[in-house]
Structure 1
């Protein structure tokens, strides 16, 4: 056989076997890839997807929250916090209302004493003296303070009110911490499970113990410090909580002094003029009667006439005061009570605003954490793990 034909034969068989080898390799690769895809598909149908877990620390114990339970736990916890905060706000309103009313009750009780003095001969003549020699309006304000506000101890009562509120609110928040811990343990029965012994931590961890302590375990001194800061922001002029009583007393006196019943300095001259017409005839008649009853001549007649005139003067004043009291005392006292009530209402609003803001501030980190429970993993605030 010629040499050229032999070479062609070897080339043919070489090409033939190369094609077979390549096709065999392609078939093997396709078989391997198809088998792997089939295995992955079967595995995905049998095994659930791996979930990212959340670990919550409560009462020193770890609890595991699956990813698909985070949103439900977040919503349930937000609801619990909302209800608890609403309860705290209702308690606060009732507590402030009763505390302020109790502080002002002795003031209201002594308004009648001031009215007794006002509708008396002594009060009448002292007002005349101050109308002539000074500011009667200021005198009445000072008299109201010494007869009503000082013996009622309003300044001291208000200072004590703050101490009492701070103590009670600190206690309420500590009780709320205990109730919330119990509520969380109930929620964990539905949305979490205890961490097993030796089970590794593979997700994010939130220390609820530290969060609750930082938000609700607050001392009376801490509350007082926040209170002073909030009061300063309201423009009450209070540098420290202990100064609130004096500020409130001053403002209450100002409200009372602004009532129409205290605008007596301007109307006093008219009041005197009306009395003078009555007194003119009364004094002359009293003097004549006194002189007739005494010795008709000599120094005795002068003395008796003077005594009679004085008695007549006092009788006219006494009758005028009693008439004024019968006509105006009820409205006079009502004006004073209304001015005091207005200051009470204003103080309640200010305290509710300040303390309500303080409560909201304490619950805010808890509300934020509850909302964060429903977000995707990786956005939690981790803690140092042991």
Structure 2
């Protein structure tokens, strides 16, 4: 029974041997016999004949074990140390071919063997974190058990068949090699009966184990493994993932979103301020243009089309927004959108790397349902900033966002009394010149170029000049402050839209 267990252990360990170990094992087969013969020459004079062969085989066997351990130590030192593992990772990497056996006992043995190997690998990975020398020593110690079994088999094959017959002879045969003894029937019967008993015991145990497995949710090995190496998984689209890795990936993505949002937020606010500051800088130029119209109404009438209000609105937009880069904010929003897409793609790629494949359902002790859409959806601050473009276009018209932002300040000005006052005064002056199609001087009146009479031009120019200069002296600064206040009011509204998060 003990021999069967030891041989089974050797077979399990051999299934995990690396290529260089098999090479060393093949070399050990080649050198064992020459080594044994050399050892036999040494021990010949020191031991009696009945003991020489056993001493020779055992000594040669231990020398081979030492050589294998030394070779294994050198090869292990040249390899990188084992990466840190979790208990679950170690078990999954140590799968045994017997785990999928149709025999319940063999399957249980394979699973327990995989657990033992996995825990060994787990311990080695922890040892590697503390001391590389300790890690090497532990690896050699674990491998030595397999080397001892392997060299013992070589020693058995070295023993001649005639010596193997001594197992069935009386003990006296060793003391009297010249006397012929008959094999003991009881010894032969015992040797033949033991395999039969072992097979019968295996069949009985197999049936009992099969019954227990069928009547229980988990087998003994599965319950033990679940307790030591059970895994909690995140379930996303019917695939299993490491939940801690998923949370870390999501946290990293959120950090990237936050950094991207912060930078974009600051850049957009800066662009809004830059736009509004340039508009404020253009206010004096706009007022200079307006107060210079006194002697040039006829040319103005040629340029204006439609109503006075339409013409003044066009002039206000052109002059207040002169030199403004309407594409700056659009570029920043495009960069934000591109950055969000990059973060989402990186998140999906990282998720694929932490997928847990080929994991048996019985090893799973808990499942956490997760939604891919919720993982890939940007957090609220980022989503709000992404929606800034749509909110601006929906509220203030079509076009580029930069153009809409510039137009928002213009629209705010059109609502203020200053624009109506300026337009009304211009309409009155044009009416005096006879440059309106209607008698009314309202801002909605149509301009009629060429309708006025030349006779009244000289008097009208002087009158207009006096009126305009008086208006400039009394109202220009108030108009300027009102226009700037409207631009700043528009600035505050747009910044509030950006910060709506």
TM-score by length of 1: 0.42
Higher RCO, Cα 8 Å, sep 6+: 1
Instruction: Indicate the structure with greater helix content.
Output: 1
Structure label with greater radius of gyration: 2
TM-score by length of 2: 0.34
